[in-house]
Structure 1
Amino acid sequence: MEKNQTYLLNLLNHNSINIENLRTFAEKNSVPIVDRMTLEMIKQIIRIHKPTKILEIGTAIGYSSMQFASIDPQIQVTTIERNERMQQQAIQNFEHYNFQKQIHLIKGDALEQFAAVENQSFDMIFIDAAKAQTQKFFELYTPLLKNHGVVITDNILYHDFVADIDVVRNRNVRQMVKKIQKYNEWLINNEAFTTNFLNIDDGLAISIKGE
């Protein structure tokens, strides 16, 4: 499996854009950004679904929002980040890679920033923030999602712990894994959305609103 993934990533590297240079920075500084195969899957979904307004919960250094925006100059991304250091890094990256006109950063905790976007509607929502709060993010922001819009949730397998919680010894991690398990079960049973799960990288959930 790892050989297959290495082979595919090497193929994708032929078409890599400069934003990918940020992955080295993220790895060196322990900044969590979306895994590469997961990113390519999301970008393909964007090409198929053609959203023009995307909401991202969890900006970090701006890597994924810039990757999304790079697909089409018509795409507008609103992204929310609570960490001040990440906010500053993201702003610098948006300016450096010339995405400041396509990406709008909202500073603050996503659970407290609904008022900043409540008058907008979105074609796609990407959730990649505090894992224990994922369901709250979903419930809070999906009323802004257009019918047939897509919600993508990252890290739904969390380092393989979700499928095998018995190996988790740390109490805090175990509690978080239980919340992710609960979220996955709630999501698959949410009749307002049709959801599929993908076993790539750290796990991905793709949910479509309505029928």
Structure 2
Amino acid sequence: MSSHLLSRPLLLRHLPSLSFPLSNHRFRPRRLSSSAAVRPPATPEPAVSVAISADERYGKKQIISVTPQIYEYILSNVREPPILRELREETSSLRGSQMQVSPDQAQLLAMLVQILGARRCIEVGVYTGYSSLAVALVLPDSGILVACERDARCLEIAKKYYERAGVSHKVDVKHCLAVDALNSLIQKGEAGSYDYAFIDAEKRMYHEYFELLLKLVRIGGVIVVDNVLWHGNVSDPLVSDPRTISIRNFNKKLFEDKRINISMVPIGDGMTICRKVLQY
């Protein structure tokens, strides 16, 4: 693992070389060959580093930073179904595999759907279908997930796994621009009828996606937004590329939006969970 990754311990999103267990077994990372092994440092680093907030507004709070060792422990407690593991491993060899959510993220999304008792869901940005499959697996048999993705090659992989998992009847695939798909749902009178939505698509479109989804999700429903920490760049004022600025502004908008309650969670590349409390 590169020093670049180690410098951002909270953002260790994808470890494609790790072999996950079946759902009821412990995580066992693949061992490196002797030629690839890295000599450990003379003094072992602690598994967890602790930072103490000096800001008196928040009190002197100890904060645990997730190191590779502690992240392996987190992954060892992920119950990843075999079909999800197979999809993740197939995706790991593809260009852009970093776009796939991590197993701990997918488990959290599936649990949110279960807690909500969700029956009607939307996903904006499917890629090869890992997060949408995780959700479809926990939906009731009469549930529906509208899955919006414009990349036909990625959708072919996703649909293959929906079929193999026996959930294809729960997934309504929209091969088009997400904005067009969402506007179409609104025009069909489906505003306020969805329980859950997940955004993981073009970052500079987040604002537009969110406003459309806020119309489609019911009061008490949840919208989850991925990549809100954007490799840690959003917290660095010296980083000013268009995507970082866009996400930074979007995060500020969510913070100030009285129509929702929010919680930003440092999992994967950062996710914000939004609960709709007021009509749009």
Q: Does 1:11 align with 2:83?
A: no
Q: Does 1:146 align with 2:214?
A: no
Letter in 2 for 1:53: R
Q: Determine what percentage of the aligned residue pairs are the same residue.
A: 23
Quick one: distance in 1 between partners of 2:168 and 2:89? 22
Q: Any idea what SS the aligned residue of 2:225 has?
A: strand
Deviation track 1:121-140 (CA, whole Å, cap 9, x = no partner) reads 20011111111111110012
Quick one: distance in 2 between partners of 1:210 and 1:10? 35
Quick one: distance in 2 between partners of 1:132 and 1:61? 21
Using the size of structure 2 for normalisation, the TM-score is: 0.69
Quick one: distance in 1 between partners of 2:107 and 2:206? 22
Aligned residue number for residue 86 of structure 1: 154
CA drift at 1:17: 3.2
Structure 1 vs Structure 2 CA RMSD: 1.7
Counterpart of 2:144 (choices 45, 67, 76) is 76
Aligned residue number for residue 176 of structure 2: 108
Counterpart of 1:160 (choices 217, 232, 236) is 232
Say if 1:58 and 1:128, in contact at 8 Å, map to a contact too. Answer: yes
Deviation track 1:72-107 (CA, whole Å, cap 9, x = no partner) reads 333321110111212222222222222210111011
Aligned residue number for residue 133 of structure 2: 66
Counterpart of 1:96 (choices 141, 159, 164) is 164
Quick one: distance in 2 between partners of 1:17 and 1:89? 16
Unaligned segments of structure 1, at least 5 residues:
none
Quick one: distance in 1 between partners of 2:104 and 2:230? 15
- What number of residue pairs does the alignment pair up? 205
Q: Does 1:21 align with 2:86?
A: yes
CA drift at 1:165: 4.8
Aligned counterparts, 1:157-196, within 5 A: 157-166=229-238, 168=239, 174-196=241-263
Query: Structure 1's 26 and 165: CA in aligned 2 closer, same or farther, altered over 3 A?
Result: farther
CA drift at 1:16: 3.1
Aligned residue number for residue 208 of structure 2: 136
Q: Any idea what SS the aligned residue of 1:70 has?
A: helix
Q: Any idea what SS the aligned residue of 1:11 has?
A: coil
Say if 1:77 and 1:104, in contact at 8 Å, map to a contact too. Answer: yes
Quick one: distance in 2 between partners of 1:42 and 1:11? 15
Say if 2:126 and 2:147, in contact at 8 Å, map to a contact too. Answer: yes
Once the two structures are overlaid, the 10-residue window that deviates more, 151-160 or 115-124, is 115-124
Quick one: distance in 1 between partners of 2:175 and 2:237? 34
Structure number with greater Rg is 2
Letter in 2 for 1:19: L
Quick one: distance in 1 between partners of 2:91 and 2:213? 27
